[in-house]
Amino acid sequence: MYSLHLSPEQRDIRETVRDFVAHQVKPAALKSGRLEARERPLLIDLLDQASQLGLRTLALSEDAGGAGADALTCCIVCEELAAGDPDMAAVLTQTWTLAHVLFDRLMAPGERERFLPAFLADQRYHLAFASDEPGRDVALGIHYHRSDIADASFGTSAKRSGDSWIVTGSKTRVVNAPLAKLFAVAVTTPENVTRTVLVPRDAPGLRVETSDGSGAWQHGAPGGITLQDCQVPADHMLGPDEGAALAFELGRRMPQDLALDLGIGRAAYEAALDYAQLRVQGARRIIEHQAIGAKLADVAIRLQVARTAIWQAAWASDHPSAVEDGSLPDLPLARMAKVFASEAVYQATKDAAECFGAMGVMRDMPLQKYVHDARICLHSSEPNSDTRLRVAEAIAGYQRTAVPALAAE
């Protein structure tokens, strides 16, 4: 079983990020003009400062110029960032995850030499993975009785033309689209094989849409891309097996997404706790009233149990041998944590808002923002109905042929 003792390095990183969030991020994120769901411009200057702290390259290996943080450390950092601003957390999590997957694992040496120096040199060099497509429905609940869930092919196609690939199609819900300088795009070749092609932002034929309507229901900087006869060099195509490997590695980031949700719940809890210790009613602080005290206790319990589940799933992804030797059960721990944590955090956030009474729903107060942010986490990724079906298949021992670009864990 994993140890609950964080290493000195993990504690130092947590305190550094927590201090940065408390003194820099929160004051900017909670300005009254930024509390509306559709009026939240990214805190670009603070993203730059976070990059200078090394957070953009947090998961990138030390040999490649990063910090080499494991999944548990990334969860700790993501929670701290999300307690200040979940959009910042989403942007940085996407970039540091893709940096590790692409530069450390999937790129050939020539590709790494071409892209890595530019990535390290530019604090605003972010990465994006483009997989979702308009009209491509792969919800498990709809396709439950199909062995392959849905057609594995993408509408976005890539065909070879001399020393180049010509890519045509469109992608939606692309996290980091407005910021990314390199896109990993899932495509289908004429042989009906799923591949992943690296498309620089300045590639001819690529158009980036800074908003595709998903911004209100997805954290970070989502948008869309359109590729119209987009031409990239032939060596920008990852190997035949790397597309599935990319999706597999990205599936392992689920605990980090849950840590983002946890950070939102923690921010709401801390705000409610501070208020309950200041607000006086009936000649005593409202935290001394049984109803408020019990409600805050429930919030604290939910958040702590969710954190334990998330940390265990993160630790398990770093230590697969713990499953092999029976130290941990052979279950989809990340998906189990997702179902519990997303619902627990949403309920905890609503309970925290109720401690403010009518002020909890006022639009110029942060509590309505926290509730909205937690609801985004509840619905923005794989729905819990599908996740429960995945867990059911795991405990039943059912092996489903997965769509390569959506394979997880």
Taking only the tens place, the pLDDT of each residue in 93-118 is 999 999 999 999 899 898 899 999 99
* Rounded Cα distance, 325 and 348, in Å: 36
Q: What is the pLDDT of residues 198-207, one digit of tens each?
A: 999 999 999 9
pLDDT band at 182 (very low <50, low <70, confident <90, very high): very high
Copy the structure tokens of residue 220.
């970070």
**Chain-centre distance of CA 191, in angstroms?**
32
- pLDDT for 150 equals 46
* Rounded Cα distance, 90 and 319, in Å: 24
> Over the range 50-69, which residues count as b (16 or more CB within 10 Å of their CB) and which as e?
bbebbbbbbbbbeebbbbbb
pLDDT band at 1 (very low <50, low <70, confident <90, very high): low
Copy the structure tokens of residue 218.
């997805």
- pLDDT for 191 equals 87
**CA torsion, points 75, 78, 79, 83, in degrees to nearest 10?**
180
> Over the range 205-238, which residues count as b (16 or more CB within 10 Å of their CB) and which as e?
ebebbeebebbeebbbbbbbbbbeebbbeeebbb
- The CATH number of the structural domain formed by 8-124 is 1.10.540.10
pLDDT of 14 higher than 70: yes
Domain 130-242: top CATH class: mainly beta
- pLDDT for 139 equals 63
Residue recorded with tokens 């729905």: 383
Question: Residue 290 CB: number of other CB atoms within 10 A?
Answer: 7
* Rounded Cα distance, 294 and 306, in Å: 18
Nearest to 319 by CA among 305, 303, 333, 336: 333
HSE-CB for 173 with a 13 A CA cutoff: 14
pLDDT band at 409 (very low <50, low <70, confident <90, very high): very low
Q: Which class for 366: exposed (0-12), middle (13-18), buried (19 or more C-beta within 10 A)?
A: buried
The answer to whether 349 touches 371, Cβ cutoff 8 Å, is: yes
The domain locations on the chain are 8-124, 130-242, 247-406
Its pTM stands at 0.91
pLDDT of 152 higher than 70: no
* Rounded Cα distance, 230 and 206, in Å: 6
Residue 35 sits at φ, ψ, to 5 deg, of -85, -15
Instruction: Pick the more confident residue, 108 or 350.
Output: 350
Question: Residue 102 CB: number of other CB atoms within 10 A?
Answer: 26
Nearest to 394 by CA among 345, 322, 336: 336
pLDDT of 273 higher than 80: yes
- pLDDT for 50 equals 97
Copy the structure tokens of residue 30.
């909670």
* Rounded Cα distance, 114 and 117, in Å: 7
**DSSP readout, 139-170?**
-TTTSTTSTTSS----SSEEEEETTEEEEEEE
What Å distances lie between residue 77 and 11, 20, 208, CA to CA? 10, 11, 29
The mean pLDDT of 216-238, rounded to a whole number, is 90
The answer to whether 303 touches 340, Cβ cutoff 8 Å, is: no
Rg (CA), the chain: 22
Copy the structure tokens of residue 194.
């799923």
Nearest to 351 by CA among 303, 282, 288: 303
The mean pLDDT of 370-394, rounded to a whole number, is 88
pLDDT of 241 higher than 80: no
* Rounded Cα distance, 56 and 88, in Å: 11
Would you identify the CATH topology of the domain 247-406?
A: Butyryl-CoA Dehydrogenase, subunit A; domain 3 (1.20.140)
